[in-house]
Amino acid sequence: MLNNVCVITIKVSRMKEALAFYTEILDFKVSKEYGPKIVSLQHEIIPIVLEEEALHSENNNVLLAIQSNDIYRDFHHFKEKDVPILFEEPKPCPPGLYFVIKDPSGNQIEILQFTNQLDLKSV
């Protein structure tokens, strides 16, 4: 079943300012840096990822990731149901593979399969 939220991604326009806000104002700690544009914050329940995006917009800046146990099966399931999918196939990401769908209101939802033997808490 695809009802397990496993990551919350927050799109930011400037990583340096975002890190200052989340660590100095909200008191989060950095869990892992995947590079200058993707940083994971420590959180006990659901990992929170800050992702710098050049084309940062006012809409859809918080992205839920739902965990998949079989990314290719789920990809084909959504395709058969005519759910809008933003990619032609699942793509690699630091913790595994993912693709993005849109709900009827245009909100993006990431479908993510952990394949790199990472614990959810280390994302």
* Long-range contacts, stretch 93-97, CB < 8 angstroms, 24+ apart: 94/34, 94/38, 94/123, 95/123, 96/71, 97/71
Q: Mean pLDDT of all residues in the chain?
A: 87
DSSP state, residue 23: I
Establish how many alpha carbons lie within 13 A of residue 104's alpha carbon, considering only the half-sphere containing its beta carbon: 1
Given pLDDT bands bounded at 50, 70 and 90, which one contains residue 59?
A: low
User: CA dihedral defined by 51, 77, 69, 1, rounded to 10 degrees?
Assistant: 100
Q: What pLDDT was estimated at residue 120? A: 44
Given pLDDT bands bounded at 50, 70 and 90, which one contains residue 26?
A: confident
**Segment 64-120, tens digit of pLDDT:** 899 999 999 999 999 999 999 999 999 999 889 999 999 877 888 999 999 875 444
Domain residue extents for the chain: 5-122
Is the pTM value of this prediction over 0.75? no
- CATH of span 5-122: 3.10.180.10
